[in-house]
Structure 1
Amino acid sequence: MPTLPPARPAGGAPDAGPGPDAELRRERRAWYVYDWANSVFFTSIISVFLGPYLTSLAEAGAGPDGRISVLGWAMDPTALYPYATSLSVLLQLLLLPAVGALADYTGRKREMLGILAYIGAFATMGLYFVAGTGYLLGAALFVVANLAVGASVVVYNSFLPDLATADERDAVSSRGWATGYLGGALLLTVQLVLYLFHDSFGLEEGHAVRICMASAGIWWAVFTVVPLTRLRNRRGGAAAGAAAGGAAPGRATGARAVLASFGQLARTVRSLRAYPRTLLFLVAYILFNDGIQTVIGFSATFADQALGLGQEVQIGAILMVQFVAFGGALLLGAIGRRAGAKRTILGSLVVWIAVVAVAPVLQAGSAVQFFVLAFAIAIVLGGTQALSRSLFSHLIPPGKEAEYFGLYEISDKGSAFLGSLAIGVALDATGGDYRLAILSLVVFFVAGAALLAAVDIPRAIREAGNRAPAHV
């Protein structure tokens, strides 16, 4: 195992005196653009269009018994999209850590980012051809795209320590999240005009949906060009070991590189025992991020089932959240620079607890109350995730960025199982009461906040071999 380099003097980024040099500033802006590029997949494909469209195709293709067959497995048409989501998440759990290990081992992060991004973008564009009874093609393309976007985000996140000093990282991470929300909101606005007024454009509803989904893939592909032309690979970790006399990871290709990355991953997982506070942070993140992802994923269903609100209200709330979350991410980033990321995250979790506690008492049919709650979510949504990302980056041993962000990303994806399970159990136990089901999520926020409060962040940073920023 290669020897780790010495602690980074200022968090991993080049020491450029009082401020970053012009080249580093350009590289940061290019890094932000990838958030702008890929966020449309989450906003347009996952949050709005694909689920209802794929379900409608499956229902149209159902047999006389009202069920569809997927590789010989008979299922209800409404289960296709959730099962496809679960399959893609399962594949992410298996592959994302290995992707991170491979990126660190080869040192070719930019090339890997490009390959993964374009696999996802072209799979998303392929959704345009999903029509009639092509629900199996749609499900397969979604699995590929969702796996690719998750893997690309692992590599993307691993650039953060190279682009920002310890004291700059909260702000840089927050700007990335904010840029992503803005990009998603702008494209979704155009898509919703096309979707809601498709008759005026001479389009059938299904054709309008396919155009909207394909446009997300085109957007993703076009704007990915920017980070690919600006981001630079840097030698570190395994690559640095090679420079000291070991095998050159950058020259390893094919099966050798893949096998070596799995071996490196196994060593990384074992090494977590030497960083117990990093591990404790990961567990805390699993819990509170589980609550966040479940609230987001079930908000539209809650609005429909518990509040009786129509699709226009739901779409309007989604769009509003995207624009407000842009400002919210910047706001919490600014607070984090002064109060510290840990304190700011804990403060945002208090807001999340309040949101989950208040949701069950909203009046049925009250769009105003639902929008107020969505506004509160939007303020803390991006900031909680952006500051969690930047805080975790301080807890990673130098040269292990992509590997550890692979573990971080599967904490994100894997935790979605827990929230969905909690909602399902609560609905089953209460006879379908969505108000009590949502209230059950308060456990994740409280437990996650308690564990995060127990993490000694400055000590965790020192144990990882990094220098702590002025405010953590």
Structure 2
Amino acid sequence: MTSAPASAGPSAAPADHALKRERFGWYSYDWAMSVFNTSVTTVFLGPYLTAIARDAAGPDERLSFLGLSLAAGSWFSYVLSASVVLQVLVLPLTGAVADRTGRKREMLAAFASLGALATTGLYFAGDGRWLLAAVLFVVANISFGAATVVYYSWLPDLAGPEERDAVSSKGWAFGYVGGALLLAVHLGLVVAAEDLGLTTGEAVRICLATAGLWWGAFTFFSVSRLRNRPVAASAVRSGSFRQLATTFREMRAFPLTLWFLGAYLLFNDGVQTVISLSATYATEELDLEQDVLTGAILMVQVVAIFGALGLGRMAGRYGAKRVVLGALVAWIGVLFAAFFLQTGAVAQFYALAAVIGLVQGGTQALSRSLFSQLIPLGKEAEYYGFYEISDRGTSWLGPLAFGLTYQLTGSYRLAIISLVVFFVAGFVALAALPMRRAVIAAGNVPPERL
């Protein structure tokens, strides 16, 4: 467990320079990792993996996998779901090891390097290698989740209760800047592919590989500025599995924290599924070209910079919970608008993408900071292990619902509208949660506005 002074949020004047340096390192990891969400999960891999799966499928567009007959159009959503099922086993244990050993810098470097290597390896997943692409993505996504658990757990060490909404939002903004810069390069590559003597598939594979290289390179800059915290002797003596089992038992003593996790799992399943499968929906249902899609995602990244910072400021005035609830209403509107989008309507698609950009970053940044208020002292990484299971484009209920709806109906429009239930249920659950009482019950001091 971390010591109390480290987790209370440093404020002494002599530590200001070190704190600013460490915060910048923390922000820069969002810059490093966000390209995996933007260029890989959101833009390129879904349509590319669907395309190579269809090329490998029979005349009925079905894949044979482990004795099952699967629709090639559902393959990417099933791969997403499988990666998260495996994360259910890996991420809480990752958090337990991080809290027990205190070696967060080393763990962040190791997981991020493995994920970056697997992402770079997607370059070789051409010529119908749909299974290789799936395996590499599962490894990359699990590594991404494990690294994010460790990364998130630094937030209580870097900011006190009143600062966390702002610090968390600034981290997301850094991520959107990094994601937008690399995505702009990728957009230029895809648009100019023919002039460069490349096929679209070859250009996409280069985009996937360079996203992995970016992630790995900037991770080492981040790690050089972050610091490990000391852990209590009792935490060092206990094994990781024993500590994890203890955490499972202790979590029952914090039902309001579990309540938030349940609400977050519901609405974030919807958020992450929209982010992860928007490319598939745009190409398969709306018949939009890859350059249109990439341009829209690039615009989302730019708009989201201001959205994350703007919603962070609104949280300081109205409270993070109210702002998140308002954002969920906007997400519900996004889904209904997506259902009625006309095929080939580029302007409509860009308008909808702008709305997504305004609410996307704030929803996630403020959810992260809200949860940090509900974690008992010294359990940050373990609790963020459970949190990350449904975070950052890796939820499984949403992709599963999307894939099954498409498989049963053959309609991507019905598949996208099926996600409304996650936002409605998450809104109701979060609205009913007494946040101030939940923060106090976790043994923390609540900020003035929640």
- Cα distance in 2 for partners of 1:123, 1:377 equals 29
Q: Does 1:31 pair with 2:26? A: yes
- Cα distance in 2 for partners of 1:66, 1:343 equals 45
How far is 1:391 from its partner? Answer: 0.5
How far is 1:272 from its partner? Answer: 1.4
Q: Does 1:295 pair with 2:290? A: no
Match of 2:47 among 31, 43, 52: 52
The one-letter amino acid paired with 1:118 is S
Partner of 1:267: 246
- Cα distance in 2 for partners of 1:361, 1:443 equals 17
Partner of 2:203: 208
Look up the SS of the partner of 1:412 in the other structure.
coil
The aligned runs of 1:324-363 (5 Å cut-off) are 324-363=303-342
Higher Cα Rg: structure 1 or 2? 1
Partner of 1:419: 398
How far is 1:75 from its partner? Answer: 5.5
Query: 1:125/1:166 Cα in 2 relative to 1: closer, same or farther (>3 Å)?
Result: same
Whether the 8 Å contact between 2:46 and 2:280 is mirrored in structure 1 is no
Match of 1:164 among 159, 166, 190: 159
Q: Does 1:447 pair with 2:425? A: yes
Look up the SS of the partner of 2:194 in the other structure.
helix
Whether the 8 Å contact between 2:141 and 2:394 is mirrored in structure 1 is no
- Cα distance in 2 for partners of 1:67, 1:123 equals 26
Alpha-carbon deviations, 1:160-184, whole Å to 9, x = none? Answer: 1001111110011111111111111
- Cα distance in 1 for partners of 2:404, 2:59 equals 31
Whether the 8 Å contact between 1:170 and 1:391 is mirrored in structure 2 is yes
Alpha-carbon deviations, 1:180-220, whole Å to 9, x = none? Answer: 11111110110121122122223343332222211111111
Whether the 8 Å contact between 1:37 and 1:220 is mirrored in structure 2 is yes
Partner of 2:85: 90
Partner of 2:374: 395
Partner of 1:115: 110
- Cα distance in 1 for partners of 2:346, 2:185 equals 23
Q: Does 1:124 pair with 2:103? A: no
- Cα distance in 2 for partners of 1:385, 1:75 equals 32
The one-letter amino acid paired with 1:15 is S
The aligned runs of 1:281-292 (5 Å cut-off) are 281-292=260-271
Match of 1:152 among 127, 144, 147: 147
TM-score by length of 2: 0.91
Query: 1:427/1:69 Cα in 2 relative to 1: closer, same or farther (>3 Å)?
Result: closer
Match of 2:12 among 10, 16, 32: 16
- Cα distance in 2 for partners of 1:201, 1:304 equals 23
Bigger mean CA offset, 294-303 vs 221-230:
294-303
How far is 1:308 from its partner? Answer: 4.3
How far is 1:61 from its partner? Answer: 4.8
How far is 1:81 from its partner? Answer: 3.6
Query: 1:174/1:91 Cα in 2 relative to 1: closer, same or farther (>3 Å)?
Result: same
- Cα distance in 2 for partners of 1:275, 1:449 equals 21
Query: 1:53/1:22 Cα in 2 relative to 1: closer, same or farther (>3 Å)?
Result: same
- Cα distance in 1 for partners of 2:447, 2:391 equals 25
Query: 1:331/1:20 Cα in 2 relative to 1: closer, same or farther (>3 Å)?
Result: farther
Match of 2:385 among 406, 413, 420: 406
Alpha-carbon deviations, 1:47-71, whole Å to 9, x = none? Answer: 2222333444445555799766657
Whether the 8 Å contact between 1:89 and 1:413 is mirrored in structure 2 is no
Query: 1:357/1:82 Cα in 2 relative to 1: closer, same or farther (>3 Å)?
Result: closer
Query: 1:73/1:362 Cα in 2 relative to 1: closer, same or farther (>3 Å)?
Result: closer
RMSD across aligned positions (CA): 2.7
Alpha-carbon deviations, 1:312-369, whole Å to 9, x = none? Answer: 3322211211111111111111111221111111121121122223333344443222
Q: Does 1:222 pair with 2:217? A: yes
Alpha-carbon deviations, 1:232-282, whole Å to 9, x = none? Answer: 0112xxx22x0xxx4745xxxxxxx8xx21221111122111111111111
- Cα distance in 1 for partners of 2:138, 2:188 equals 27
- Cα distance in 2 for partners of 1:86, 1:423 equals 10
Bigger mean CA offset, 385-394 vs 179-188:
179-188
Match of 1:456 among 411, 417, 434: 434
- Cα distance in 2 for partners of 1:284, 1:371 equals 30
The one-letter amino acid paired with 1:449 is F
Query: 1:421/1:64 Cα in 2 relative to 1: closer, same or farther (>3 Å)?
Result: closer
Query: 1:60/1:28 Cα in 2 relative to 1: closer, same or farther (>3 Å)?
Result: same
How far is 1:117 from its partner? Answer: 0.6
The one-letter amino acid paired with 1:152 is A
Query: 1:307/1:142 Cα in 2 relative to 1: closer, same or farther (>3 Å)?
Result: closer
Whether the 8 Å contact between 1:35 and 1:176 is mirrored in structure 2 is yes
The one-letter amino acid paired with 2:20 is R
TM-score by length of 1: 0.87
- Cα distance in 2 for partners of 1:355, 1:54 equals 25
Identity of aligned residues (%): 57
Partner of 2:96: 101
Bigger mean CA offset, 319-328 vs 353-362:
353-362
Partner of 1:378: 357
How far is 1:399 from its partner? Answer: 0.4
Structure 2, unaligned stretches of length 5 or more? none
Whether the 8 Å contact between 2:339 and 2:413 is mirrored in structure 1 is yes
Query: 1:20/1:437 Cα in 2 relative to 1: closer, same or farther (>3 Å)?
Result: farther
Bigger mean CA offset, 187-196 vs 95-104:
187-196
The one-letter amino acid paired with 2:382 is E
The aligned runs of 1:61-76 (5 Å cut-off) are 61=56
- Cα distance in 2 for partners of 1:301, 1:275 equals 39
Q: Does 1:467 pair with 2:445? A: yes
